[in-house]
Structure 1
Amino acid sequence: MSVSNPTLITFVIYIAAMVLIGFMAYRSTNNLSDYILGGRSLGSVVTALSAGASDMSGWLLMGLPGAIYMSGLSESWIAIGLIVGAYLNWLFVAGRLRVQTEHNGDALTLPDYFSSRFEDNSGLLRIISAVVILVFFTIYCASGIVAGARLFESTFGMSYETALWAGAAATIAYTFVGGFLAVSWTDTVQATLMIFALILTPVIVLIATGGFDTTFAAIELKDAGNFDMLKGTTFIGIISLMGWGLGYFGQPHILARFMAADSVKSIAKARRISMTWMILCLVGTCAVGFFGIAYFSAHPEVAGPVTENHERVFIELAKILFNPWIAGVLLSAILAAVMSTLSCQLLVCSSALTEDFYKTFLRKGASQLELVWVGRAMVLLVAVVAILIASNPENRVLGLVSYAWAGFGAAFGPVVLISVLWKGMTRDGALAGILVGAITVVVWKHFSIWGLYEIIPGFILGALAIYFVSRAGSPSKAMVSRFEAADEAFKAGH
């Protein structure tokens, strides 16, 4: 195993700490609400950092720096789109969803919320939304496992197959044991580690390449187009990258953080903390890829691994420029990004299978202890399927993420956004929105129409389907009065 011991020791300590947090959370997990939503007890700091960390998966430290390293600043449109989308999600959805889920049967999951909000007694809305979650999240989980495998492969010289299991094992362990509280507490630690790595690394790369003037001169010498935000882009290309921001409205693992906040009063403070964290992380990750161009053009003798796979730019810079102990901490930040997102996704899949299939259709009278253990079994099941999908070493992290992100953004985004803003929305409108959004993404992706990112047509057509189908019917008086009561509670607490 080609690794200096300090890096290995740092990794082991970090993983052990995360599993320990899982066991601490285990002691606070008494029922399914605790396992799925932490008993709605998250304060503003944990809500903020957990929402951020669960969003920023391995692509933050691998996919995005790699894209900037390859193509220059023209790839940074994705970061701008994400910042705008995340801010609007906090502003329009976070507080309202927290209140609406409480007023609609104290819903624990998105399918649960849709069922209660739209009085869907047939179970159709719950089943379809749970199936969408399982399909797209299993792909999303696979992307996290690929990122973890790449990290273990390049850090410890493991084979890809061994690295797959090594990378996934720790995350599965603490999610299995501690559920939502473990995931949220570990997310807070992981968010802190990620921002430390993404502020420190570009500063050290900049010093190593001789400061701003020398670094920018070297980047310009390599290709002056690296500074051009419009290089190689088209109008459709920029719209596609900015379109990533639309995905926020429909990501179940991020929306679960809003649902778990201790009160609507925590949301405004959480928004400020989360957006500051996110902007610093995205600026840092773009800087790593950008300054990496200068470093590796000045040191071509160590550029081999990055030339072979550009998504390794952060890993290689950390290994080359830092003391092995510090490098171990920085590389743990990639593991943190992978683990924080993967754990949330495993938990959302588990909650969909447990709450929306097992409890609703198979065992209505199941005890809380039974449901928690079924939830744990489902974590293992989804993890194994995701590992099988990830077993193809040709997988690229950003490609897998973009498909899953689009699926959720288009299927759930319009439904969630409109359901918390418009009292006239109906059950049939919600069904139409989910189906049209999800089908549009699959079809658009398959045919690659105009090269436009599939989330954009999916989101627009899903929203139109909701509006027109809802206008053809009308919500019940009980639905309208619940919506209005929740809206009043939101305004009172905001």
Structure 2
Amino acid sequence: MNNKNPIVIISVMALYMIFMVVIGIYYARKNRNSSDYFLGGRKLGPWVTAMSAEASDMSSWLLMGLPGLAYASGLASATWTAVGLIIGTYLNWKIVAAPLRKYTHVANDSITLPDFFSNRFHDKKKILMTVSALLFLVFFTVYTASGFAACGKLFNSLFGYDYTACMIVCAVIIVLYTSLGGFLAASTSDFFQGLLMSAALVVILVGGVVSAGGIGEVINNVKELPGYFSLLTSYDPATGQAASYGAVAIISGLVWGLGYFGVPHVLLRFMAIRSSSEIKKSRRIATTWCFISLVAAVAIGVVGHALYPDLLTGTATETIFIVLTTTILPAVFAGLVLSGILAATMSTADSQLLVTASAISENLFKGVLKKEASEKHKMLISRITVIVVAVVACLIALDQNSSVFGLVSNAWAGFGASFGPLILFSLFWKRTTLKGAIAGMIGGVATVFIWLYLIKPLGGWFGLYELGPAFLVSCLLIYIVSKLDKEPSKEILEEFEAAKKSTI
């Protein structure tokens, strides 16, 4: 790898990280209460809402996991996953965004998702609030670990620095500006990071195509590989032969889109926008950004294989973006582009840490354990939570050979199955009951683990990505249990109708 100017590259990246901390310090003074800290006082404009939602969504796997997948096995797996995510992004903005913004305001001005679930179903025992907060803690810890692992791989691949030390330093910086600035700091930094991520993808894609001698040369270099350039077969690097890529694999890729309905750090942006009337503009911005970024990420993996066909194997394939950057661009520009990986990591990790902190301090601590807790105590607990989750995530990320794509896949399925169906039923079926909601949430997450560890190893149609069957089971449980249960109270039904008519 070309590292002839490592000092220049790392200096640019260090300046970028300092900029993120400055944003956190600036917004620390603007957080007057927990509503400001966790939801920015519902003051986000359409551009910041769109860009922060997408940047916090895509994470480091956009610049490492997805290009690495395309580099290793060709178009099929990466493309079907990208298609599923593009469709899921659009439908989430189209179907969920406005109703969720309205309903969270009507439901006692809920500032977190556990708040919303509890208020929506008048859950006096706080069962939904407690279970969802604990699920946030588990899945976001795994998700955050994937981001920290990406940071460690980045600096280890670039400069040969110790993976663990680099991973921890990056984690400290993310914790610092997140715990200081809260939601406004995370959203503002995510806006800039989203712009940087998209710019980095386009620059490397164009530079890679030029270095390869043009699009024609790229196609000629990879089309000879069996199955590499097909959407119905994949390339097996171990054998050098085409591998079957059938209906199960295609459906598994498309199923990724279902995850969007239950991803808290994206849903939180819907809740924070100034007005539901601005969501249409945000949807167009977000969908366009998503399409361009995902297409570019897949194409970068293909271009990388054309340029360096035998350079990377195993989980090292996820560093193809880094390889291209350091060999194509001058040091200063390489530093800027590689900051895009930091941006992708930080934009997701800060949101994940913040949502987890809100679930623990606002919902478990104040909502269940100490209902008279002051704003000062809640803020303290939230900052302690950020630190504890980051420490556990660092421990998970100690394994340098862990796959960024694999970690994200597990957490994505967990969120999508436990919260996705519940969000949809909560917003669109007034007959949904508290018992149905609890059954669907617990049944969804249980199915993820049962399918992943007991059923999926059987192969065949059982090899389907666990999010699909778990999502279906959750939907069935919500519907069946709700129908068997008595109808919701008059107050709940009135709130449902008020949310539908709201113009907020």
Same fold (TM over 0.5): yes
Structure 2 counterpart of 1:474: 487
State the distance in 2 between where 1:177 and 1:313 align.
34
Q: Does 1:238 align with 2:245?
A: no
Structure 1 counterpart of 2:296: 284
* Equivalent of residue 89 in structure 2, options 86, 91, 94: 86
State the distance in 2 between where 1:403 and 1:212 align.
35
* Equivalent of residue 281 in structure 2, options 269, 272, 293: 269
* Equivalent of residue 61 in structure 2, options 35, 59, 62: 59
The Cα shift of 1:336 comes to 0.3
Structure 2 counterpart of 1:444: 451
Contact 1:190-1:336 at 8 Å conserved across structures: yes
* Equivalent of residue 175 in structure 1, options 173, 178, 181: 178
State the distance in 2 between where 1:454 and 1:81 align.
15
Structure 1 counterpart of 2:405: 398
State the distance in 2 between where 1:53 and 1:151 align.
18
Structure 1 counterpart of 2:108: 105
Contact 2:315-2:401 at 8 Å conserved across structures: no
Residues 169-208 of structure 1 mapped to structure 2, 5 A cutoff: 169-208=172-211
The Cα shift of 1:2 comes to 8.4
The Cα shift of 1:185 comes to 0.2
Q: Deviations over 1:402-448 (max 9, x none)?
A: 01000000000000011111111111111011011000001111114
State the distance in 2 between where 1:469 and 1:85 align.
27
Contact 1:141-1:383 at 8 Å conserved across structures: yes
Contact 2:154-2:322 at 8 Å conserved across structures: yes
The Cα shift of 1:369 comes to 2.5
Aligned-residue identity in percent: 45
The Cα shift of 1:100 comes to 0.5
Q: Deviations over 1:190-230 (max 9, x none)?
A: 00000101111111111111111122111123x05221111
Contact 1:30-1:369 at 8 Å conserved across structures: no
Output the TM-score relative to the length of structure 1: 0.96
State the distance in 1 between where 2:339 and 2:140 align.
24
State the distance in 1 between where 2:27 and 2:357 align.
17
Residues 135-150 of structure 1 mapped to structure 2, 5 A cutoff: 135-150=138-153
State the distance in 1 between where 2:393 and 2:75 align.
32
The Cα shift of 1:306 comes to 5.9
* Equivalent of residue 340 in structure 1, options 344, 347, 358: 347
* Equivalent of residue 356 in structure 2, options 349, 356, 359: 349
Q: Which amino acid aligns with 1:245?
A: G
Q: Which amino acid aligns with 2:435?
A: D
Q: Which amino acid aligns with 1:131?
A: L
Q: Deviations over 1:260-297 (max 9, x none)?
A: 11111111110000000110100110110011111114
Cα distance change, pair 448–398 in 1 and its aligned pair in 2 (3 A): farther
Q: Please, which runs of 5 or more residues in structure 2 have no aligned partner?
A: 234-243, 457-461
State the distance in 1 between where 2:188 and 2:474 align.
35
Structure 2 counterpart of 1:428: 435
SS in 2 for 1:38: helix
* Equivalent of residue 130 in structure 2, options 127, 130, 133: 127
State the distance in 2 between where 1:316 and 1:463 align.
43
Q: Deviations over 1:438-478 (max 9, x none)?
A: 00001111114321111001100100111111111211110
State the distance in 2 between where 1:328 and 1:181 align.
26
SS in 2 for 1:227: coil
State the distance in 1 between where 2:116 and 2:399 align.
36
Q: Please, which runs of 5 or more residues in structure 1 have no aligned partner?
A: none
State the distance in 1 between where 2:27 and 2:198 align.
24
Q: Which amino acid aligns with 1:394?
A: N
Contact 1:306-1:316 at 8 Å conserved across structures: no
SS in 2 for 1:197: helix
Contact 2:118-2:126 at 8 Å conserved across structures: yes
Cα distance change, pair 206–457 in 1 and its aligned pair in 2 (3 A): same
Contact 1:306-1:313 at 8 Å conserved across structures: no
State the distance in 2 between where 1:448 and 1:178 align.
43
SS in 2 for 1:283: helix
226-235 vs 411-420, which deviates more?
Answer: 226-235
The Cα shift of 1:125 comes to 1.2
Q: When the two structures are aligned, how many residues end up with a matched partner?
A: 485
State the distance in 1 between where 2:179 and 2:4 align.
31
